[in-house]
Copies of this chain bind each other. A is one copy, B any other.
């Protein structure tokens, strides 16, 4: 064990680099548009992380060869790409369906790479998040009924808005879980009639559901 990285960034970086090699600057932009509403990382976070992933041998840096034969002795742009170990590690991260995957900090990132995630893991994460949210919902609801009429209208408004937001996310999750189930059933159906098909296209491999 080398560096004990434990953040979302690791997954995010590995996941993005798996799609295509990039240099740090672009990586950060893609990161922040990918996660848009949820998180935004700064260079001060990203570069040290890259450095460490490098030290762990999960990524390598290549000089960016520009085709126009210039001198390029300046300081070449660094293009990061996954090593074999990096890919392996990514797969491992994508298979872990624990709290880290459905808590607030991690869920968005894990979800963002669902296209590269196994179907059963996807389902576990979605259900994990749902139950997490329902738990929170329950807590707040009981707290609300216990202290009702003792809070001012603004506090009430805030709590209500929060409650509705979470309820909305739960409905969204229900929708997604339903679709996942349908997709899984579809898979089974397909597999029954056509038994040998495994990994061919990279983007949405098992995407046959009409939705």
Size of chain A's interface in residues, with CB distance under 8 A?
A: 36
Per the bound structure, the CA–CA distance linking A128 and B82 in Å amounts to 42
Asked if residues A155 and B37 are in contact (CB atoms below 8 Å), the reply is no
Taking a contact as CB atoms under 8 Å apart, the answer to whether B162 and A172 are in contact is: no
Q: Are A147 and B37 in contact (CB under 8 A)?
A: no
Tell me what chain A mostly uses at the interface: helix, strand, loop, or mixed.
helix
A168 in the interface (beta carbon within 8 A):
yes
Docked Cα-Cα span, A108 to B157, in Å, equals 11
Question: A173 CB to closest chain B CB, in angstroms?
Answer: 10
Residue of B with least CB distance to A142: B33
Q: Is the CB of A140 within 8 A of B37?
A: yes
Q: Is the CB of B112 within 8 A of A155?
A: yes
A204 touches B33 (CB 8 A): no
In the complex, whether A66 has a CB less than 8 A from a CB of chain B is no
User: CB-defined interface of A1-44 with B at 8 Å, one 1/0 digit per residue?
Assistant: 00000000000000000000000000000000110111000000
User: Given contacts A152-B204, A154-B114, A155-B115, are A143 and B176 in contact (CB under 8 A)?
Assistant: no
Contact mask for chain A residues 45-86; partner B; CB cutoff 8 A; 1 contact, 0 none: 000000000000000000000000000000000000000000
A100 interface contact, C-beta 8 A: no
Q: Which residue of B lies closest to A136 (CB)?
A: B37
List the 5 closest pairs (A to B, CB-CB), nearest first: A37-B162, A114-B154, A115-B152, A33-B143, A36-B140
